[in-house]
Structure 1
C-alpha cells in the first residue's frame, strides 16, 4: 500500500512531464523545416495545380483584358499575380491550345 508521503506521488507526474517534453522535441525534429531561425520568405510555388499557364503579362489590367477575350471565346480562365509586375493567365488543359492561339493574336501578350 502507498503511503501519502511516499516518493511515488511525485515520480508519476515527473515521468509524465519528461515523456511529454521528449515527445515534443521529437515531433519538432521530425516535422521541422530543417532550418533554424528561418526569416527568409518562402518561394512562390510554381505548381499551377489543374490549370495551365497560357500567358504571362506585365500588367494586371492587360491580363484581365485577355481574360475577357478568352471568356468571349467560351474559355474559362483565371488571373494570378505572383509579383507586382507579373500576371499569369491560367486555363484548364483542354482549353490551352485554343487559348494559346488567341494569345498569339492578343496585342499585349
Structure 2
C-alpha cells in the first residue's frame, strides 16, 4: 500500500518514542517515590561533641574518647578549627569526657 506524500506518517515514530519515554518517566517517579508527601528531615550520622582550635588537641581528645570505647572522627571545616564528631548514641558520655578534657 503506497503512502500518500502529503500525509504526516513521518511523525508516527517520534510520537511513539515520546509516548514511551513519558510512560517510563511516570513509572520511575511512582517506583522511586518516598511514600509520604512531607519532606524528609535529614538525620545526621555524626554529631559534633567539641570544637577545638588545634588539630593536636582534637587528636588528644579523640584518644581519650577511644580509650573510653567511643568511636570518633575529626572534621576540619576551616583553618584553626577542628570538630570532634561522635555517633549520637555516644554523645552524652563523649560530652562528659570532653568537659573534663583540658587540651583546648
* TM-score, normalised relative to structure 1: 0.56
Per-residue deviation, 1:48: 8.6
Please point out which of 55, 60, 70 is paired with 1:60.
55
Q: Distance in 1 between matches of 2:60 and 2:53?
A: 12
Q: Distance in 2 between matches of 1:62 and 1:108?
A: 5
* TM-score, normalised relative to structure 2: 0.58
SS in structure 1 at match of 2:61: helix
* Bigger shift: residues 70-79 or 48-57: 48-57
1:46-98, Cα deviation, whole Å (9 max, x unpaired) = x8931110000000010011000000000000000011100000000000000
Distance verdict in 2 for CA 1:83–1:48, change over 3 Å: farther
SS in structure 2 at match of 1:50: coil
Q: 2:98 maps to what in 1?
A: 103
Structure 2: runs of 5+ lacking an equivalent:
1-41
- Is 1:84 equivalent to 2:84 in the alignment? no
Superposition misfits of 4+ residues, deviation over 4 angstroms: none
SS in structure 2 at match of 1:81: strand
Q: Distance in 2 between matches of 1:67 and 1:49?
A: 19
